[in-house]
Amino acid sequence: MFVHKQIMPSFAESVTSGEITEVHVKKGSFIKEGAILAVVDIEKSTIELFAEKSGLITELKINKGDTVKPGFE
């Protein structure tokens, strides 16, 4: 079995955290590479987090309203 951890990407240089405003997946769902996993608000903009690989979601470490930092696994 292959395990892939999706890591929160870097935001703009001066931004140190963001808030999860939408979560588009659930534990147990199968996703395809490129699918939107979540939406993150960072200061005055919004970024979408896309799946780097296709696969089964076995663990979900984020919820709507969570604050996350770049590099969060």
Q: pLDDT of the chain along its 73 residues, tens only?
A: 455 566 666 666 777 788 999 999 999 999 899 999 999 998 888 888 898 889 888 888 889 999 988 765 5
At residue 26's C-alpha, the angle toward residues 35 and 7, to 5°, is 60
Q: What's 11's domain CATH number? A: 2.40.50.100
**What is the domain count for the chain?**
1
The model carries a pTM of: 0.79
What is the rounded distance in angstroms from the CA atom of residue 35 to the CA atom of residue 42? 20
User: Domain span at residue 35?
Assistant: 1-73
